[in-house]
């Protein structure tokens, strides 16, 4: 199977969406086709162009209500055409008598009428109308390869027609262009990183109260625990005081003078 004046369909089919730049979006397929025709008339490599339909919908249009007379007449008309075709073919390879063509038309009308009436009666009244089905899209995107996007956009600007043309290059369906500096890139999404940053700030703010509640060691306590006791168990300097029993008044007491703490000053009057 192949397209008219084109390559085989098997060579054109792809498993995914076409990769390229969005050139324009149109509400009608004829407008998208007109743009592609204009590009082809200007010697543009249209092998890199694709038309993508968005939001495909199946539309069924009801044409008429069915009944036995209408079904019989429709079958007779189809049978007459089929019988005339068969009669002409037989007359070409036969005697060429017109009676043979008329006989084929009558037999075709009878056979198709009977077949149509039987088929309609087997439905049981479940489908008493005739309709035609069609697959339509709400909009059509014209996609061009990244390497030809700039030239296609320059040609499309010369075509006066209605449509939402893309003013700046951007990948079709969230794709990244091959040459970002030349054809433009889409902005990277930074929204997912915000919750992580918020969670980090919450952890930091949550850790600050615990760090504030943690007991800190004063320089006095550090100095008190850095000296070892004497061999008999007494402290090397001063007296041992339990921090829980120490009162604020004791902390505010003035420090003793060096003369009172020196034992030699007390012994001098006794020696005299």
Ramachandran region of residue 41, left (φ > 0), alpha (ψ -120 to 50) or beta?
Answer: alpha
Residue 141: strand pairing partners: 25, 52
Helix 149-156, helix 29-41: angle, nearest 10:
110
State the pLDDT at residue 14: 58
Residuewise pLDDT in 10s, the chain (272 residues): 445 555 555 445 556 788 899 999 999 999 999 999 999 999 999 999 999 999 999 999 999 999 999 999 999 999 999 999 999 988 888 776 788 889 999 999 999 999 999 999 998 878 888 899 999 999 999 999 999 999 999 998 888 765 566 555 555 555 554 443 333 344 444 444 444 444 444 444 444 444 444 455 554 444 444 566 777 777 766 676 665 555 554 444 455 444 444 444 444 444 43
State the pLDDT at residue 29: 92
Listed as own residue / partner, the contacts of 32-37 with beta carbons closer than 8 Å and 24 or more positions apart are 32/140, 32/141, 32/142, 34/159, 34/161, 35/142, 35/156, 35/159, 35/161, 35/163, 36/142
The strand pair at 21-26 and 164-165 is best described as antiparallel
Whether residue 169 contacts residue 177, with contact meaning beta carbons closer than 8 Å, is answered with yes
CATH numbers and ranges of domains, the chain: 12-62+138-182 (3.30.70), 67-127 (no CATH)
Q: Whole-angstrom Cα distance, residue 105 to residue 240?
A: 130
Whether residue 26 contacts residue 35, with contact meaning beta carbons closer than 8 Å, is answered with yes
| Buried/exposed code over 211-245 (b: 16+ C-beta within 10 A; e: otherwise) | eeeeeeeeeeeeeeeeeeeeeeeeeeeeeeeeeee
Q: What spatial distance separates the first Cα and last Cα of the chain, rounded to whole Å?
A: 134
If residue 210 lies in a helix (H) or strand (E), which one and from where to where?
helix 193-213
The tokens of 31 are what?
A: 């407008």
Tell me how far CA of residue 19 lies from CA of 137, 173, 218, in angstroms. 20, 8, 69
Helix 68-93, helix 98-122: angle, nearest 10:
150
Tell me how far CA of residue 229 lies from CA of 91, 223, 257, in angstroms. 134, 13, 24
Helix (DSSP H) and strand (DSSP E) numbers for the chain: 11, 4
């Amino acid at each position: 199977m192949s397209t008219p004046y084109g390559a085989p369909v098997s060579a054109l089919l792809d498993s995914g969406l076409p990769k390229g730049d969005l050139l324009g979006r149109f509400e009608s397929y004829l407008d998208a086709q007109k743009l592609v025709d204009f590009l082809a008339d200007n010697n543009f490599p249209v092998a890199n162009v694709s038309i993508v339909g968005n939001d495909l919908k199946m539309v069924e249009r009801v044409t008429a209500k069915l009944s036995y007379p209408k079904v019989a007449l429709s079958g007779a008309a189809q049978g007459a055409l089929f019988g005339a075709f068969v009669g002409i073919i037989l007359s070409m390879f036969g005697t060429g008598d017109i009676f043979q063509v008329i006989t084929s038309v009558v037999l075709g009308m009878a056979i198709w009428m009977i077949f149509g009436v039987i088929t309609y009666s087997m439905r049981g009244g479940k489908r008493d109308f005739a309709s035609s089905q069609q697959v339509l899209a709400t909009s059509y995107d014209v996609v061009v390869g990244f390497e030809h996007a700039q030239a296609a956009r320059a040609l499309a600007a010369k075509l006066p027609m209605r449509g939402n043309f893309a003013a700046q290059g951007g990948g079709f369906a969230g794709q990244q262009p091959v040459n970002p500096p030349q054809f433009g890139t889409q902005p990277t999404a930074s929204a997912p990183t915000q919750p992580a940053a918020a969670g980090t700030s919450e952890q930091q703010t949550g850790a600050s109260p615990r760090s504030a509640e943690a007991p800190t060691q004063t320089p006095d306590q550090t100095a008190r625990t850095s000296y070892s006791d004497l061999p008999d168990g007494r402290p090397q300097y001063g007296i041992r005081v339990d921090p829980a029993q120490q009162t604020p008044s004791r902390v505010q007491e003035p420090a003793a003078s060096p003369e009172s703490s020196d034992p030699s000053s007390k012994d001098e009057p006794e020696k005299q």
